[in-house]
Every structure is written in C-alpha cells, then in structure tokens.
Chain A
Amino acid sequence: MLKIQDLHVSYGAVRAIKGISLEVNDGELVSLIGANGAGKTTTLHAISGLVPAESGEIILDGTDLRRTPPEKIIGLGMAHVPEGRHVFARMSVEENLLMGAYIVRDKSKVKERLELVYGHFPRLAERSRQLAGTLSGGEQQMLAMGRALMTDPKMVLMDEPSMGLSPILVKEIFSIIKSLHADGITILLVEQNAKMALSVSDRAYVLETGLISMSGKASELLHDDKVRRAYLGA
C-alpha cells in the first residue's frame, strides 16, 4: 500500500532523514519506533507533504505522493493523526469531526460516519458540543483519531497517540488501535512507547538519527537484546 524508497528530508542544514526505505502492506500494522529526535515525525510529515522531501520516492497505491498537493492526499484514502493531536481548539467536538469529513460531499455519508465514530468513542458523543480545547489529553487524542476516521480511510498514520497519557488511557488508546487494525485499516504507527507499539504491531522499523537501524517482525524485535536495551529499558 505505502512504499518509501531512499527518502531524504532536511530542515535547512539539519539532515533529519538520511535515506530510509520502508513499506507497509495492505492491512498491516507497522510501527516506527525510535528515540526523541530520531526523525519519526519528520517521516510522517514527508509522507503527508507537510514537509517537502529532498529526494526519494513515496508511493501510495501507485500514486506518487511527492507530486500530490498535500491537501489532496486525504482524498487518496490516507489520514494522518498528528503528534500533539492538533484538534481545532476553538471548535466543538462535532465541528472537529465534521472537518475530518471536509472532503466528503455526500451529507448522508458524513452523518453515517459521525455515528460510527461516536460508536467507537462514546465519550466524544457525550461531549459533542464542548469546545475541543477544553477536553482532557486523552479525549483530545480520541477526537484526533475520530476526526481521521471520518473519511473512512484505507490507511492511517498515527504519531505518538499515547504521548502524555496516563497508563490507563494508554491502554485504552492501544486497544482502539488494535480494533482499527482488526477492522482492516492499514496503520503506520509512530511511538516512543516501543513496548506497547511492538506488542500490537505486525512489523516494525527502528529509526536512529535519520536512518533505519533495524527492522523485522514485531514479535522478534520485542525479544531482541539490542532493542530491549535501547528502547524497552531492559
């Protein structure tokens, strides 16, 4: 579904991504783990076109994303839950969800999706009129995820969905991720919480200062000594 080949990204003189290749197949849950500053967010931003890639290929189902205007990417069936949630704080929960369906013209379809998302996240339904900026961190994360689901995407990029959440909420978020995966949505998950990420993923890549240092089956990486020492605190 998604194929990245020899991607390079720089911020001025700072070389953030120095030639990575990775692949996410249909229906897979793949995670990209790595320390703070490794370049995980940059990778997702390059996929979504929020930062320009310097060189390399990013192909989604045969479409060259580097030649696609960033606002057109969601129309190709790929949504992005950004790091730090980025909900529209001055809009209500429901307005945020409606913005998620901005590209959907069919009003009845929007309504259908809204019901579906409220079904996934009953807490959002209870707070549909509340301003998003007044939600708790966990609720904002659910809103950001719900918003990304409004277009019924084939693939979702998720950037640190567990960041800053209490252990209980982290569990809840990961169980939602698992159920989305079970529903057949292809997911590229970025996490610093490597243990949780590896435990739900099919495969994983380890990013180290702009380069992929390891990759493989998540279950194998979970038991790899190097990974355990560097990322799992064991």
Chain B
Amino acid sequence: MGVFLQTLFVGLRLGSVYALIALGYTMVYGIIRLINFAHGDFIMVGGYTLFFTVPLMVAAGLPAWTAVVIAVIVCALVGIGVELIAYRPVRKKGTNMTALITAIAMSLLLENLAQAIPAIGPNPKIAGTFFSTGGFQIAGVTLDYVTIYTIVISAVVMLLLYVFTQKTKIGRAMRCVSEDKGAAILMGISVNRTVLITFAIGSGLAAVAALMYIAQYPSIYTTLGSLLGLKAFVAAVVGGIGIVPGAMLGGIVIGLVESFSMAYISSSLTDTFVFLILILVLLVKPAGILGKNVGEKV
C-alpha cells in the first residue's frame, strides 16, 4: 500500500509536469496545425533563466521560486520571437512540410545558441532548491513538498487556463481561430495576434514546467528539453492533440505509466513503456483518448 501510494504521487507529479508541457504543444497545434519541435527547448530556456535569476531573487529577499515570474516572461518572449521570426513567414509562403522542418531547425538553433553563450557552455549547471525541503507523512508515506507543490501548482495553472479559454474574450478568440480561421476573421479576430498570444501562453507554461522539473532534477543542460519535450508531445498525442483537456489527461497518463513501470517492472524500461502506450492508444483510438475519430480518407 505504501509503495502504491508513493508511486501514485510520483506519477501525478511527473504527469503534471508533462501536462503543462503538453499544453504548449497542443495549443499551438490546435491553432496553426504545427508540431512546434522547439517547444521542448523553451523548457531549457526557462531552466537557465531560473538558474541565473534565482540568486537575484534570493538577494532581493524574495523566495527562490519567484524567479519563475521572470522565466515565464522570458519564455513567452522567446515563443513570440520564434513565431514572428520563423513560423509566421514560413506559414505565409511554405507548405506544412516546410513549417515542420523550420520547427526542427528552431529547436537545434535554440540548443546551439544556448551553448554558444559563454555563461552557459557545454557543461550542466546544478540549480539550487526552489521549495522548502522535507515533507510530511500521510498513511505511512513520506510526501516531499516538491511533489505537493508540483501537483497543486499544475492543477491551479491548468484550472486558470481552462477558465481563461472558456470565459475571456481572448480565450474565446483562441478557440475560434483553432476551430475555423475564416469565420474567426469574419468576426473581426486578428489571427496573427491570436496565434502570438497562444505562443506566449504555451511558452509561459513551459517555464512553469521547468521550475517544477528542475526542483526535482536540478541538472540543467542545453538538451534538457529534448526527451522531456518528446514525452510531453507523446502525452499530447495520447490525450488527443489539439484538445486542451486531452493534454492534461495525456500528461497524467504518461506520468503514471512512467512511475508505475519504474516501481513495479523495471526502471530502465520506463521510456519503452511510454512509447508502448503511445502505440497502443494510436492503434485503438488514432485521434487520442479524447480525440474525435474522423473517418480515414481513402
């Protein structure tokens, strides 16, 4: 029972990080049908921003985690920059394939640019602690604060995002553009502006994910976002890409698969299980758990 509960919480913790990242993939995909391969690298940008700004916050007498505010802003700006400089011009002129290749190029560019910055360089940095260490006991299980904070913060952020997309004018505009661009334009919605806002939010969420991921695994390196981003992308696909609740659900599913396979089967096979689940879901429901299956075109 103790092991089970512990594993469950680890899974939820991992899952909430994946969910936050998956949201970035899914929101951008939903609005411009692009798999933003650079999204994983926004986590890396967020990680380094945290690494460099935490000491400043602490020196100013603020808690370490407040650095996430700066990280969110930096990531949002990077997201906006990537859209403006790379994706928007390509979207006007190119095909889906050119856009995809541009996304891969942006990913490599961000990783290599980071490495070229002297203060970053090729060697990993180790972040300090963000949250108070320790934890408390429930039902014979020790839960550390990082786990609790991660789950709670993700839940709150996702709830806020949900309310934002449902109840605000900008949120509604985002849903319109993702559903029907032409009709959205006829309503007076600026597609370009809405896409920019989507990039800013998705990238901002990546910064929050970075905080929580690094709180658990403090090593920061330039390819930090590769595998993490890939797994979050898998989560988005498992839940149904383009569907916001799908990203949340997919994230949790992948987190649980990872923690349970680690605890009960083999820690070296967890990634295998993640991709196995992907294949299984795609076989049974090609559009993802919450996706609507559109009949295959012949």
Query: Does A149 touch B at the CB level, under 8 Å?
Result: no
Closest to A79 in B: B186
Question: Which one of B172, B186, B189 has the highest number of Cβ atoms from chain A below 10 Å of its Cβ?
Answer: B186
Contact (Cβ within 8 A) A74 B186: yes
Contact (Cβ within 8 A) B188 A75: yes
Q: How many residues of A contact B (CB 8 A)?
A: 27
Shortest distance between the CB of A104 and any CB in chain B (Å): 9
Q: Which residues A156-180 have CB closer than 8 A to chain B?
A: none
Contact (Cβ within 8 A) A71 B189: yes
- Cβ–Cβ < 8 Å partners of B191 in chain A: 71
Closest to B182 in A: A50
The verdict on A72 contacting B172 (CB below 8 Å), with A50-B182, A82-B182, A88-B179 known, is no
- Mostly, the B contact residues are helix
Query: Does B187 touch A at the CB level, under 8 Å?
Result: yes
Contact partner, B185, options A71, A79, A148, Cβ 8 Å: A71
Contact (Cβ within 8 A) B172 A70: no
Contact (Cβ within 8 A) B169 A102: yes
Query: Does B180 touch A at the CB level, under 8 Å?
Result: yes
Shortest distance between the CB of B167 and any CB in chain A (Å): 10
Question: Which one of A70, A86, A99, A147 has the highest number of Cβ atoms from chain B below 10 Å of its Cβ?
Answer: A99
Shortest distance between the CB of B188 and any CB in chain A (Å): 4
- Interface bits A83-102 vs B (CB < 8 Å: 1, else 0): 00011111100010011101
Closest to A100 in B: B187
CA distance A50 to B182 in the complex (A): 7
The verdict on A82 contacting B186 (CB below 8 Å), with A88-B175, A99-B172 known, is yes
Contact partner, B180, options A70, A75, A88, A98, Cβ 8 Å: A88
Query: Does A80 touch B at the CB level, under 8 Å?
Result: yes
- Cβ–Cβ < 8 Å partners of B179 in chain A: 88-91
- Interface bits A40-74 vs B (CB < 8 Å: 1, else 0): 00000000111000000000000000000111101
CA distance A97 to B187 in the complex (A): 10
CA distance A49 to B175 in the complex (A): 21
CA distance A100 to B183 in the complex (A): 10
Shortest distance between the CB of A124 and any CB in chain B (Å): 17
- Cβ–Cβ < 8 Å partners of B188 in chain A: 71-72, 74-75, 102-103, 151
- Cβ–Cβ < 8 Å partners of B173 in chain A: 99, 102
CA distance A103 to B169 in the complex (A): 10
Q: How many residues of B contact A (CB 8 A)?
A: 17
CA distance A149 to B190 in the complex (A): 20
Contact (Cβ within 8 A) A71 B190: yes
- Cβ–Cβ < 8 Å partners of B187 in chain A: 71, 74, 99-100, 102-103, 147
Contact (Cβ within 8 A) B175 A48: no
Contact (Cβ within 8 A) B185 A102: no
- Cβ–Cβ < 8 Å partners of B186 in chain A: 48, 50, 74, 79-80, 82, 86, 148
Shortest distance between the CB of A84 and any CB in chain B (Å): 10
CA distance A70 to B185 in the complex (A): 7
Query: Does B207 touch A at the CB level, under 8 Å?
Result: no
Shortest distance between the CB of B91 and any CB in chain A (Å): 16
Q: Which residues B208-227 have CB closer than 8 A to chain A?
A: none
- Cβ–Cβ < 8 Å partners of B176 in chain A: 88, 91, 99
CA distance A51 to B264 in the complex (A): 58
- Cβ–Cβ < 8 Å partners of B169 in chain A: 102
Contact (Cβ within 8 A) B189 A90: no
- Cβ–Cβ < 8 Å partners of A82 in chain B: 182-183, 186
Q: Which residues B188-203 have CB closer than 8 A to chain A?
A: 188-191
The verdict on A50 contacting B185 (CB below 8 Å), with A71-B190, A71-B191, A102-B169 known, is yes
Q: Which residues B124-182 have CB closer than 8 A to chain A?
A: 169, 172-173, 175-176, 179-180, 182
Closest to A69 in B: B190
CA distance A82 to B186 in the complex (A): 9
Shortest distance between the CB of B92 and any CB in chain A (Å): 12
Closest to A50 in B: B182
Contact (Cβ within 8 A) A86 B183: yes
- Cβ–Cβ < 8 Å partners of A48 in chain B: 185-186
CA distance A191 to B173 in the complex (A): 30
Question: Which one of A79, A90, A147 has the highest number of Cβ atoms from chain B below 10 Å of its Cβ?
Answer: A90
CA distance A79 to B188 in the complex (A): 10
Shortest distance between the CB of B189 and any CB in chain A (Å): 6
9 A-B pairs besides A72-B188, A103-B188 with CB distance below 8 A are: A71-B185, A71-B191, A74-B187, A89-B179, A91-B172, A98-B172, A99-B173, A102-B169, A103-B187
Can you show 9 pairs from A to B with CB atoms below 8 A apart? A48-B185, A50-B185, A82-B182, A86-B186, A88-B176, A89-B179, A91-B176, A99-B176, A102-B189
